[in-house]
Structure 1
Amino acid sequence: MARRLREETGNQKLRPRLDADLGKPSTQRLLTAMVLPLKMLLSPNISVISFLTAVGYGFMYILYTTFPQTFLCIYAWEPKNIGLAYLGTAVGNLLGMILGGGISDAIVKRRAKNRQAKPENRLIPMIFFWPLLFCGTYIAAAYTTHSASEMAATCVLRSLVGGLVPLFSNKLYSRFDVGWAFSLLTLIALALAPVPFLFYWYGERLREKFDRSFLGR
């Protein structure tokens, strides 16, 4: 498209949007690339949905760090069998990626045939299974031009939660016991359950507002 417009108009400065920064100094492009992920976190869509993913990521790390205490001290497993306890999360994550991705793709294709294509269709599986499904496909589809920066912003939140959770997860289990600790996690999951549904309905409007305010699009 850009090449055709250059030939038709004679304006050799026309470039695709993705190449718009190539004429800027390398230091300015580097600074823009470093700041953009933090800027993208100002978007309600990215910040809240990324937080939701980070919480699910934190739940997984709580399980990882408390399995030895739970199965050794409470269920009296032999240490050599502790590795078997991790098979459940491994199988669950695998099924979540395969089935979640397949269901998401099927929904998007069906909506596209009915002329209802929008990135928020990727959130439909999360409405029912958000702790099991991450939001990377939605973020990439919602902001295609800056998808790398958006995924970087998501990874920052997710990594922070993954690094902080092991510091208090065993203390959480010691204070509340296994039953109440899992009940607390369940209540947190239920409190956050409406978020994908709300962003499915209002996400497009929020994205457009953010694009105008911060990205100038």
Structure 2
Amino acid sequence: MGSAELAEKDADQQDLEGIGDDSTLSVQAGGTDTDDGAKLDGRQETSWDWNTDPHNPYNWPTGKKAIQVCSIASIAFLASMGTSIMSTAPEQLRAEFDVTLTQSILPLSLYVFALALGPVVGGPLSETVGRLPVFIGGLIGGTLFTLGAGFTHSFAGLNILRFLAGFCFAPSLAISTGTINEMYKPVQRGLPSTFFILTPFLGPGIAPVIGAFVTHRKGWRWTQWTMLFFCALSLLLIVPFGRETFHPILKRRRAEQLGHTVPRSPALREKAQEFLTITIFRPLLMLVTEPIVGLVCLYVSCEFATLFTFFAAVPYIFERVYDFSSEQTGLVFLAVVIGCVLGTLTIILCDIFLYRRQIPKHPPHMVPPEYRLYPAMLGSLGLPIGLFWMAWTSRSDVSWVSPVLAMIPFAWGNLCVFISTMQFTVDTYTGSVIASATSANSLTRYGLSGAFPLFAIQMYSKLGINWATSLLGFISLALLPVPWVFFKYGKKIRSLSHYETPTY
């Protein structure tokens, strides 16, 4: 998530590349138009209604949509899995390549940095050539670079190939939300969106478990071979069953098929200007001029960075304090999976019992964005609770069960804060401004997340386990008021924005 696709709240509301906002088009196969639409040259003028056209993804059969969701979810899981599958490999990398501890974490961090940069290219590209070519092309490229990472005997080569693999996989995280929006109307999006959002969050929890076992028993290269198995699964789903979903491209193709003359595509210069504005310049400007964008990015980025710090800190804690093996340490991350599942259930319940109850109280489609923040307000409490709990029970005279359980409220709160604040951001801005806001979030989130593991071990060795984890807890405590302040003063803050925001 976090690209131009989130700007597409409803694909049927877009200006479909100049074909026209009216979904019913009059198409004549030949001859000359007349006022009464009579037959000319023996050819009958026909009417085309995009809303009922079977090529419209909204009208696809349920099974076809489900396969598409499973396909993109598998790629998103694969992309997020790559962030942490090598979290237990640094010791083997140090031994094989004779590098320092910090250097041994670079293959992990560079992959995460690539997730921040990949959508900058992949998002706009998917709106030019279509979603499907970006999905397939990125998946094939990521598969080849992952294969190369498994074979390389150069540490520099490993870093480069891991970065390029992450760069290729990254667009799948950014454009998948748009794909779901293009297949399901708002009232139908609940279940498929929930299923999809959960999959990339499960990756960082499941991958360390897999990585710990294959690294210990087969060596670090098997982390890449394991990735290839998931690549093959995704290819088997997306290549034969994947379909294009981007409405402007599909509508243009359908219009041409029916013989309708469509306007030319925007010139390359216009597309380049739009790309620079939406995905680079405006996101950076919004970070410093829009309180909503700046504070949401800061909050989400710090908590994501804390999660990625765990990839280095958890082995440090549990191997030193509790004498865990690498495989036992990997199993600790199942607590993150449990927290993510609980977070998903929390978001669903908040939507059903809190957000939807506001719908009858407001005009259609005019529920204030602040009502999206209920899960974030709840989750903001879980973050410091989990971190301080983990900080002061990670000692030999306390059972290992306690710090493991402490990771559950943290993971729960992290998912609640991320999803809720992103929904709030999407509801706050309009049009391409949403794309810029979410691009800013993606850049800062993965940028900070890639940096934190590089100094995590030094921080823990200097400050000690208790105070290093407490430092992360103090950061979450300092940022805790963010969703609460937006819930109470959101309307006033929105009114001060430099961009168009809802007035209700």
TM-score by length of structure 2 reads: 0.36
The residue that corresponds to 2:55 in the other structure is: none
State yes or no: 1:38 paired with 2:284: yes
Aligned pair in 2 of structure 1 residues 70, 44: CA closer, same or farther (>3 Å)?
A: same
Unaligned regions of 5+ residues in structure 1, if any? 5-18
Deviations 1:144-182 (A, max 9, x none): 423222211111110111011111111121122222222
Partner of 1:157: 444
2:372 paired residue number: 122
Cα 1:76–1:113 change in 2 (3 A) is: same
RMSD: 2.7
Matching residue's letter, 2:296: I
- 1:13 counterpart residue number: none
Q: What's the secondary structure of 2:367's corresponding residue?
A: coil
Q: Give the whole-Å Cα distance in 1 for the aligned partners of 2:336 and 2:368.
A: 31
Structure 1 contact 72–78 (Cα < 8 Å) conserved:
yes
Alignment partner of 1:99 is 2:346:
yes
Residue 121 and residue 175 in structure 1: after superposition, are their counterparts in 2 closer, same or farther (change >3 A)?
same
Measure the CA separation in 1 of the matches of 2:285 and 2:352: 29
Give the drift of 1:56.
Answer: 1.2
Q: Which has the higher helix share?
A: 1
* 74-83 vs 176-185, which moves further: 176-185
Which of residues 160, 163, 167 is equivalent to 2:454? 167
Letter in 2 for 1:127: M
| Maintained 8 Å contact 2:430/2:500 | no
Contact 1:55 1:161 in 2 (8 A): yes
Q: Any gaps of 5 or more consecutive residues in structure 2?
A: 1-12, 14-20, 24-247, 249-265, 384-412
What is the number of residues matched between the two proteins?
Answer: 199
Change beyond 3 A, Cα 1:170–1:60: same
Task: Report the TM-score when normalising by structure 1.
Answer: 0.80
CA shift, 1:106, in A, is: 3.5
Aligned to 1:68: 315
User: Hey, what does 2:306 align to over in structure 1?
Assistant: 59
Q: CA deviation at 1:215?
A: 5.6
Judge conservation of contact 2:373–2:424 (CA < 8 Å) in 1.
yes
Using the TM superposition, name which of 70-79 and 199-208 deviates more.
199-208
Q: What is the distance in 2 between the residues matched to 1:83 and 1:54?
A: 24
Q: Go from structure 1 to structure 2 and tell me whether the alpha carbon gap of 1:118 and 1:216 turns closer, same or farther (over 3 Å shift).
A: closer
CA gap of 1:156–1:124, structure 2 versus 1, over 3 A, is: same
Q: Is the 8 A contact 2:355 2:372 kept in 1?
A: yes
Amino acid across the alignment from 1:59: T
Higher relative CO (Cα under 8 Å, sequence separation at least 6) belongs to 1
Task: Say whether the 8 Å CA contact 1:120–1:199 is kept in structure 2.
Answer: yes
Output the CA distance in 2 between the equivalents of 1:147 and 1:66.
35
Amino acid at match of 1:173: Y
